Amino acid sequence: MEIIITDTPDEVARVAADIIAGVVRSRPDAVLGVATGSSPGATYQRLAELSAPSAPGRVDFSAVTVFALDEYVGLPAGHPESYAAVVSREIVRPLGIDPANAHVPDGAAADADAAAAAYDAAIAGAGGIELQLLGIGRNGHVGFNEPSSSLSSRTRVKTLAPQTRADNARFFDSPDQVPVHCITQGLGTIGDARRLLLVAQGAEKADAIAHAVEGPLSSRWPASILQLHRHATVVVDEAAASGL
């Protein structure tokens, strides 16, 4: 595993964006896995700068395909905090990705289990994911694979941990509006990506980063699956690296 420790949170975004831009430059029709949450936000902003028509050596995302990691189950259609809306607002539109090439699990499906299985199959059908961008939860979750998730799990319906619902309450008007269930790529699905890139900033992620990078491989800390991967990169600022 490659660990890159930067002085500032801004540098995390610059380094991560440069890695992603490099993938797209060498393969303009790359399939990327994208994460939501606050951690990758600055990375997307940096990529938007790099893809602007006026940017020198501009990166063109128009042929890129993206698959989101996860989605809430049961939010009303068009809810601004659904990950479909977040992916559209923070990634697809700013980077100039074709909306037809942007995929998010269907959290409104009548049969969520079938929707999850179809999503897993769609990733494989697209040739798999070239690079999967990841954040990390304070409890070590990736996607919405909460502690105790099977290390070989596929895309499926999960129940959110109380801490994750509390952490994500900031995106909603009240804590009870945070959905209880989600569809998430499984740890096995994530591990199938040819490259993993995890970004984290801030001292509140230090414990999770330490367990992910230096702890034993364990479903107690789902991000420890990075240790199994042939090409995993972790980009963290000094604060998030403080437990290493």
Residues identified as active-site: 70, 139, 141, 146
Distance in Å, CB of 39 to ligand GLP, minimum: 3
Select the residue interacting with ligand GLP from 44, 61, 119, 144 (CB under 6 A).
144
Q: What is the DSSP string of the chain?
A: -EEEEESSHHHHHHHHHHHHHHHHHH-TT-EEEE--SSTTHHHHHHHHHHHSTTSTT----TT-EEEESEEESSPPTT-TTSHHHHHIIIIIHHHT--GGGEE---TT-SSHHHHHHHHHHHHHHTT--SEEEE---TTS-BTTB-TT--TT--SEEEEPPHHHHHHHGGGSSSGGGS-SEEEE--HHHHHTSS-EEEEE-SGGGHHHHHHHHHSPSBTTBGGGGGGG-SSEEEEEETTTTTT-
Nearer to ligand GLP, 35 or 95 (CB): 35
Distance in Å, CB of 8 to ligand GLP, minimum: 17
**Contact between 152 and ligand GLP per CB under 6 A:** no
**Contact between 135 and ligand GLP per CB under 6 A:** yes
Nearer to ligand GLP, 59 or 136 (CB): 136
Site for ligand GLP in 55-74 (CB under 6 A): 69-70
**Contact between 35 and ligand GLP per CB under 6 A:** yes
Q: Total binding residues for ligand GLP by CB under 6 A?
A: 14
**Contact between 235 and ligand GLP per CB under 6 A:** no
Distance in Å, CB of 160 to ligand GLP, minimum: 8
Q: Which residues of the chain form contacts with ligand GLP (CB under 6 A)?
A: 35-39, 69-70, 135-137, 143-144, 164, 168
